[in-house]
Amino acid sequence: MKCPFCSKDNTRVIDSRPADDNNSIRRRRQCDECQRRFTTYEKVETIPLVVIKKDNNREPYERSKIEAGVFRSCHKRPISVDQITALVDEVENTIFNREDKEIPSHIIGEILMDKLKDLDPVAYVRFASVYREFKDVNTFMDELKKILDKE
């Protein structure tokens, strides 16, 4: 492993421990040249996933797109960054556990909405309004009624 500070190749592991609920390994390393320490994470490489968009275009899966959508829907809500990260991790685990090489974007959206509904109803409605492209107030009200009927 190359040192991020001096770019020398001789570094050594001084501590290893599980991270992210045993989904990765956190390693503390020290450079033998400059003696500085840094952290690396080792994760299992997953199968590349392709998302099939509404218009049938295909593009590589990007976690950042899900995170951005969730962050927007949770704006000014009492939801921590850790909760958002955990939600995105859950969605990602569900998607990758399907072991499909391609997945339609609407399935990702539905999985995400199910998880958001449990986390925060307001964030769920915000996400659903964009995702389902609510055309008018009546469509918005119908979705709110569904939530209220379940409570």
Q: Enumerate the domain spans of the chain.
A: 11-43, 50-150
Whole-prediction pTM:
0.62
Burial (CB < 10 A; 0-12, 13-18, 19+), residue 24, is middle
- Kindly report, residue by residue over 80-117, the tens digit of the pLDDT: 999 999 999 999 999 988 888 999 999 999 999 999 98
Longest dimension (CA), the chain: 66
Q: Is the pLDDT of residue 21 over 90?
A: no
Average pLDDT, whole number, for the chain?
89
Task: Give residue 115's pLDDT.
Answer: 93
Task: Give residue 95's pLDDT.
Answer: 92
